[in-house]
Structures are given as structure tokens and as C-alpha cells.
Amino acid sequence: MANKKDLFSSNDSQISLVEAKFAEQNLQFLVNSGDFEMLSANEAFLRRTVEGKIQLICKAIDNRISQLSANLNELNNLDKIGRSATMGVLQRIRILRGKKTQLLMKFYESGMKFLTSEAGEKIDF
């Protein structure tokens, strides 16, 4: 019969595996939904290498841009107010592309030694 310590450590590792799997699923949800600002609050994100973090942020930004782009045609077909909103969406897309470019340039020019955000800190660059 296993002693209590073995039972608890086994149970703890099962909980850790469940938590890790949940964190990974949550990370994929954040990336797919384009929520790049919220990635640093995710444990699975924090365990990644710096380059892995950069790639996930870039993928999340790409997904956000795709979501915004999907709304452009609908907004553009509306009246004057819709066209004004279209310009706002285009400006947001331009800003996001600039942020992505800035992030990649900073990362690869700096010798890949930045982006050491604390857990839960919003990524804002």
C-alpha cells in the first residue's frame, strides 16, 4: 500500500498537469482571439522562451488584424458614418502592423534579450 506522501504527490502532479493543460488551452484561445495584450497573464505564455513569446504575440496581432479586416466591407458599404468607422478600423490595423514590426525589430536587433514582463502585466508597447 502506498503511503500518504506518495498519494498526495501523485495527486499534486495530476493537478499540475490539469492546470498546465488549462493554461495551454487558455493561451491558444487568447492567441486565436487576438488578445495579445492579455498574454502575459497566462502561465503557459510565461514558460515560453523569449522568441516563443514574440511569435505568439505576433500571431495574436495577426489574428486581431484579420478580425478587424473582416468588418471592413460591411462598414464601408454603410453611409457616411460607416465610412468614418472604416477609416478608424484602417487606422487601428495600421497601428497594429506598426506594433508588430516594432516588436520584431526590437527583438532581433537587441540580440533577443527583452520582453521580460511580470505575470499579469499587460503587454503594451
The C-alpha atoms of residue 5 and residue 87 are separated, in whole angstroms, by: 62
The C-alpha atoms of residue 22 and residue 15 are separated, in whole angstroms, by: 10
Per-residue pLDDT of 28-80, as tens digits, reads 999 999 999 999 999 999 999 888 999 999 999 999 999 999 988 788 777 77
Q: Is 118 among the domain residues?
A: no
- Give the Å distances, CA to CA, from 21 to 16, 78, 83: 8, 44, 43
Q: Is 116 among the domain residues?
A: no
How many structural domains are present in the chain?
1
Q: So what's the pLDDT on residue 72?
A: 85
Q: What range does the domain containing 95 cover?
A: 4-109
Q: Is 98 among the domain residues?
A: yes
Question: What percent of the chain is modeled with pLDDT above 90?
Answer: 50
Report pTM.
0.74
Inter-residue contact 120 to 41 (CB < 8 Å) = yes
Q: Is 123 among the domain residues?
A: no
Q: Is 103 among the domain residues?
A: yes
Q: Is 115 among the domain residues?
A: no
Q: Is 69 among the domain residues?
A: yes
